[in-house]
Structure 1
Amino acid sequence: MMINLRERILSYGVATLKDEELLAVILGNGTKEYPVAKLARKIVSESNGLNLSLEQLMSFNGVGVAQACKVLAAIELGSRKNQADTLSEETVSVADMGQHLIKKIGSAPQEKLIAIYLNNSYHVISEKIIFIGTVDSATVHPRDILREAVGMSATQVLIAHNHPNGSLMFSQNDQEFSLRLQKCCHLIGINLIDHLIITKKTYSSLKSLNLI
């Protein structure tokens, strides 16, 4: 099993492996009752997108402390890589930004409000996490977003936040906050491109729904 997986990685690249196969490579071995392939498949099927604690991993028969630590380290490394990814400095579209944000915050366990700042040519100047927690007008103020925009002479901004529950629906708070931000942007000559809701696999646009 392990030899075959390693040969596939060498011949075709690691991206060709399924989730349970990647996990099997990390685990290395299983038990007589649960060979590594069966063990990896069980963990993937019974976990919520591999959102697992050390204790949860070790509750699976055949997973020891060392293996559990390896799995958690691999997951954390992947998460940090996504956080470090940045958009191209070339012209980008809303679709480009949506796909980028799925990777960056789509799997985050907490809501994160992120702002992407651009110039008139749709070249990205910077992107910043503005707030972590529930996004509404009581917790986040437009000035938190626009202070950064003015400081870097951005003329356009796109905001997005993730829904850990997977919902693509905008709440009343989402719309009210977006309309408030849009008014503040207009006053200082900045274009609010859109407000996106991000999930693990896709995104929705407040502007495409004519909510701003």
Structure 2
Amino acid sequence: MMINLREKILAYGVSTLKNEELLAVIIGNGTKQNSVLDLSQKIICDSGGLDLSLEQLMAFNGIGVAQACKVMAALELGSRKIQADTLSEKIVSVDEVGQHLINKIGNTPQEQLVAVYLNNSYHVIDEKIIFIGTVDQATVHPRDILREAIQMSATQLIVAHNHPNGSLMFSQNDQEFSLRLKKGCQLIGINLIDHLIVTKKAYSSLKSLNLI
């Protein structure tokens, strides 16, 4: 089985492997009762994906410390790769920013406020994590965002933050913060394109709800 998977990677590329096949390559070996692919399918099915702790992973028959550590390391590496990805220098739409941030911050356990800075042609100049923690008027001030915009001569701005609880609804704090940010943007000639709420599967737009 492992030889076949390696041949598949060599012939067609690693992106052609299914999730259970990727996991099988990492685990390496199955048990007398289950092949490594069967074991991988069971882990993915029973866990609803791969949202597992080290202890939960080791509870599966056939997964020892070494295999569990390999899987957790691979998942962490993938997570860090996503965190490192940026939209730099691309021309983007709000939807593209939303989809990008679903991957980047949608699954993080703490709220993160991200600002995406653009020029007049909607090229991304940069994106920055401005704050980690609850986003409200007491913890985040528009100047923290606008200072960066002025330094990089941005004329367009999209802000977003994630809701770890999975809710796509804007809170009163979210709306009040957005209105303060919009006023600050207007004073210095920056267009606040949108404020997005991001979860692990979707995003919502304050602009589309006519809240800014």
- TM-score with structure 1 setting the length: 0.91
- 1:83-125 per-position Cα deviation (integer Å, ceiling 9, x unaligned): 1112141422212212222222222232211101111121111
Partner of 1:9: 9
Partner of 2:196: 196
Choose 177-186 or 3-12, whichever is displaced more: 3-12
Partner of 2:172: 172
Partner of 1:133: 133
Partner of 1:123: 123
CA distance in 1, matches of 2:167, 2:134: 14
Partner of 1:105: 105
User: Pairwise mapping of residues 73-88 of structure 1 onto structure 2 (< 5 A)?
Assistant: 73-88=73-88
User: What amino acid sits opposite 2:151 in the alignment?
Assistant: G
Contact 1:163 1:199 in 2 (8 A): yes
Q: Tell me how far 1:48 sits from its aligned partner.
A: 5.2
DSSP-derived class of the 1:179 partner: helix
Contact 2:88 2:126 in 1 (8 A): no
Partner of 1:32: 32
CA distance in 1, matches of 2:185, 2:127: 17
Tell me how many residue pairs correspond in the alignment: 212
Runs of 4+ with >4 A deviation: none
CA distance in 1, matches of 2:88, 2:129: 18
Q: Tell me how far 1:78 sits from its aligned partner.
A: 0.8
Q: What are structure 2's unaligned runs of at least 5 residues?
A: none
- Is 1:146 the equivalent of 2:146? yes
DSSP-derived class of the 1:115 partner: strand
Contact 1:34 1:61 in 2 (8 A): no
Give the root-mean-square deviation of aligned CA atoms: 1.8
